Every structure is written in structure tokens, then in C-alpha cells.
Amino acid sequence: MKKALVIGSGAGGATVAKELQSKFDVTVIEAGNSFHPFSANLSTIEKIKKTGALFNEKLIHAIFPAMHINKTTDGMVLVKGITNGGSTTLSAGNAIRVDRDLKTLGIDLDAEFNEISKEIPVSAEHRGKWHQTTMQAFEICRDMQLGPVVTPKMVDAKRCTGCGKCILGCRQGAKWDSRRYLNQAIKNGARLISSSKVEKVMIDNSRATGVVVQNSLRRNFYPADLVVLAAGGFGSPVVLNNSGIRCEDKLFVDPVLCVAAKIESSRQNAEMPMPFIVQREDYFISPYFDFLSFFFNRKWHYHSGDIYSLMIKLGDTNTGSIDRRGVKKSLSELDKASLKDGVKLCKQIFLRLGIKESELFLGTINAGHPGGMLPLTGKDARTFHDTRLPGNLFVADATLLPRSLGNPPILTIVAMAKRISKICLEYA
């Protein structure tokens, strides 16, 4: 049986591992380790915050090891999950299909999305868990004719306790993350190597022969007949560049900015994040308790149960790059204008909630949906394979997306990974 190496265990990697294990001897190489949900009490964090000890977002790793923070050269906070399951473990569990740009390229993933619907339970029946302020905000958005839509969730509502900590890991196992696919692959014989960072793909005579991996203080070479790179929008481009394959300076990151206010006993911190979404042309708005800003932004000094926040998630312009030295990414003038428009709309919603503009405060701009540095084109629609890559090297993550989705990407990445797996099975 031929050997396949899958680099990364997030949405793309775990999907590919599950799909390929039947025909390949699959090894998944993951830079992180076992995932453990955030377990600290928020009141304890509040006490620590008052001492001034939480002065830098990078300290999140000390209290929540699965979450890693980097910053762009101009200071934008970048969030990623380095753990078994990747960033899916830190997601809000949203199940939104966003493949319009892929369809424009001639890529039809209907069959793959249909497969997903049979494997991942998705439901929008969670309004019964909303608190009063969220119900008011939904009705306000409806009265403003903003077309709010209840967010479909990869969450078992019966198991959900409404703890509000979806993005910090689901302790009840109610939220789907890619470890479920990963565990299926392992059950069927796949091997998982954790705490191992892939540095580069070795290429000989236009074929990938394997990967070089940093394990603790040692470097090892793992041979393979097929390599699927799914280290994420921040990780895959670095591996490709290290391997002599030049990516494009088209990085997007889906920036997030939250507008917040003190609303006593709103308890958004103990509510399912992003319960509904208001879609605009370049961004969307959704209720969201921003734990990152709560932990590290000094403006967020109120009790966690008394803060209510609206997220602006931006579909940013594809201009940015990443290499071993760091990430170069700035907001364009168009991005800044879109954020300004989003802030204005949030202010209008809060005004109807009885909150004056002077009482609002902003969160920390952060981003966690990177991609776009090896974008698919029309000529790749059938093969999902860029001509810069050796024939037996594939990429299966958001690096392939032609532009920012400006929306939760997990479902779309899983669908792409399923299609790529079918193509890879031709090598078996």
C-alpha cells in the first residue's frame, strides 16, 4: 500500500486523512499536541487581569496552550490553533456554505456538501438558548430590515449547556471539530505524529519524496508516495516557500473588530457565540463575546457577564505575505472604510438597545481565517492542483481560496478537502 503524508489535522487535513486511509497507509503529522478545552474560571481571569499581568495577547498560550498568537509587522493580532484538530477546536461551530467564488471558477462541490450533511449534524434550532439581549438585538436587526439569519451550527443542541465557551473548546463534546474525522482515520489504521513541525517538502525530479520534520531537537525525514499539505493559511505557505515553491502575496485574514457596551446581566459570556448573522457586502455583523479582548484589552474592564458585543467580520483585500520572518499584512483603505461602515451600523443597533455612542468601546482587531496564497484559478477547477506543485503534492486548506470568504470557512474547506481526496485516490 502506498504511503500518504497529511500535514496538519484541522478541517482540511483530518478530512483528507479520513478519506484516504482506505486506499493509502496514512500518517498525519501535526505541529500541536492533544487538545484540552479552556478550564480556568472567568472570575479568576478577571482577578489576574486587574493585577496587570495580562498585558500582551501572546500570553494567551500560558492559560490556553492550544491557542497561539502572532502579530503582523504593524501589530494586528493573529490567532491560530496549534493542536490536534487545529483551529476547528477554537471555532464557534458555524456551518455556513461559502463557495460562490469557487462556483465562479467552475468548481461544483454540491456532491461534497451533500456528503458532509450526512456526516456532520447541522442545526439552526438553538433560539431557545438565547438570552434576552440577543433576542432584542435580533428583533432590532429585523426591524431595521437587515435580514438577520439564525446561524446554522455544527452543535448538538441537546448536549450544549450554553456555557458560551465554544471558541475555547467544547467541554461537553457538543460542538463538532475535525478530531472526529481524525479519530475515524486513526480507528481505520492511520498514524498520528503530534508535536512535530514540518519544515519543508523534499522534491526530486519534480516529485515529492517526503517531508523534513522537526521533532523536539531532532530532524527526521519521512518518505511518502503522496503528500497533502494542510497546515493552514499561515502554515502551508511557509512550508511551500521553504520547499522552493513560491507562493503569491495574496494573503487574506478575515479581520474581526468588536463593538461593545456594558449591559448589566446580558450574560453574553455564557451564550452560544454568533447566534445570528447580518450579512453585508464586505462584512457581516454578529453577536459575539470577544474573549481575547476581555482577557487583554483594558477597555474591557467590566464584569464578563455585563459586557455585550457585536462582531464585525471583514472580507479583506488579498494583499499580504508570510514567510519564516513573519506576516506582512495591513488593512487597505477599502478595508478601513468597510470597518468604519460596520462600526456605524453597530452603533445604530446599540442605540436601539438603549446604549449611547459615548458608552461604547472597541475590541482588539484580530484575525484567524488566513488563506489565499496559492489561489485556485479556472484552469485548476478540475485538478485542484497548481502547476507549481509536483504532481504528487497537493494543498488542502484555505491557502487555495481565491479570495477572502469573509465568513466562517470550515464547511467549505471540508468540502474542498473531500474533492481533493477523490483526486488523490487516483494515485492509490
Please report the pLDDT score of residue 217 as a whole number: 81
DSSP structure class, residue 371: B
DSSP structure class, residue 427: G
Q: Is 106 within a domain?
A: no
- Condensed to tens digits (0 to 9), the pLDDT of residues 38-96 reads 988 888 888 888 888 887 898 898 889 999 999 998 889 999 999 999 999 999 999 99
The residue out of 367, 384, 409 marking a domain boundary is: 367
In this structure, the answer to whether residues 157 and 243 fall within a common structural domain is: no
Q: Is 98 within a domain?
A: no
Q: How confident is the model at residue 216 (pLDDT cuts 50, 70, 90)?
A: confident
The residue out of 335, 367, 399 marking a domain boundary is: 367
The residue out of 323, 349, 367 marking a domain boundary is: 367
- Condensed to tens digits (0 to 9), the pLDDT of residues 359-383 reads 999 999 999 999 999 999 999 999 9
* Mean pLDDT in residue range 343-359: 98
CB 255 within 8 A of CB 316: yes
Q: Domain of 182: which CATH number?
A: 3.50.50.60
Instruction: Evaluate if pTM is beyond 0.95.
Output: yes
In this structure, the answer to whether residues 148 and 216 fall within a common structural domain is: no
Please report the pLDDT score of residue 11 as a whole number: 98
- pLDDT averaged over the chain? 95
The amino acid present at 402, given as its one-letter code, is P
Please report the pLDDT score of residue 74 as a whole number: 81
* Mean pLDDT in residue range 394-412: 97
Q: Grid coordinates in use for 353?
A: 438597545
Please report the pLDDT score of residue 325 as a whole number: 78
In this structure, the answer to whether residues 185 and 304 fall within a common structural domain is: no
- Full domain range(s) for residue 348: 42-80+124-169+251-367
Strand partners, 374: none
Instruction: Classify 351 as helix, strand or coil.
Output: helix
Please report the pLDDT score of residue 46 as a whole number: 84
Radius of gyration of the CA atoms of the chain, in A: 21
- Condensed to tens digits (0 to 9), the pLDDT of residues 159-189 reads 898 899 999 999 999 999 999 999 999 999 9
Q: Is 92 within a domain?
A: no
Does residue 427 carry a pLDDT above 80? Answer: no
Q: Domain of 63: which CATH number?
A: 3.30.410
Q: Is 116 within a domain?
A: no
Give Cβ neighbours of residue 336 (< 8 Å, ≥ 6 apart): none
Give the position of cell 509587522: 73
In this structure, the answer to whether residues 234 and 296 fall within a common structural domain is: no
Q: Grid coordinates in use for 7?
A: 500535514
Q: How confident is the model at residue 21 (pLDDT cuts 50, 70, 90)?
A: very high
The amino acid present at 314, given as its one-letter code, is L
Does residue 388 carry a pLDDT above 80? Answer: yes
Q: How many CB atoms lie within 10 A of CB 366?
A: 22
Q: Grid coordinates in use for 426?
A: 487516483
Question: Which phi-psi region, left, alpha or beta, contains residue 384 (left: φ > 0; alpha: ψ -120 to 50)?
Answer: left
- Beta strand 255-262 pairing with 361-362: antiparallel
What's the total number of domains in the chain?
A: 2
In this structure, the answer to whether residues 390 and 413 fall within a common structural domain is: yes
Q: How far is it, in rounded angstroms, from Cα 283 to Cα 158?
A: 31
The residue that leads in pLDDT, 73 or 191, is: 191
In this structure, the answer to whether residues 270 and 386 fall within a common structural domain is: no
Q: How confident is the model at residue 253 (pLDDT cuts 50, 70, 90)?
A: very high
How many helices (H) and strands (E) the chain has is answered by 11, 19
Share of the chain above pLDDT 90, in %: 89
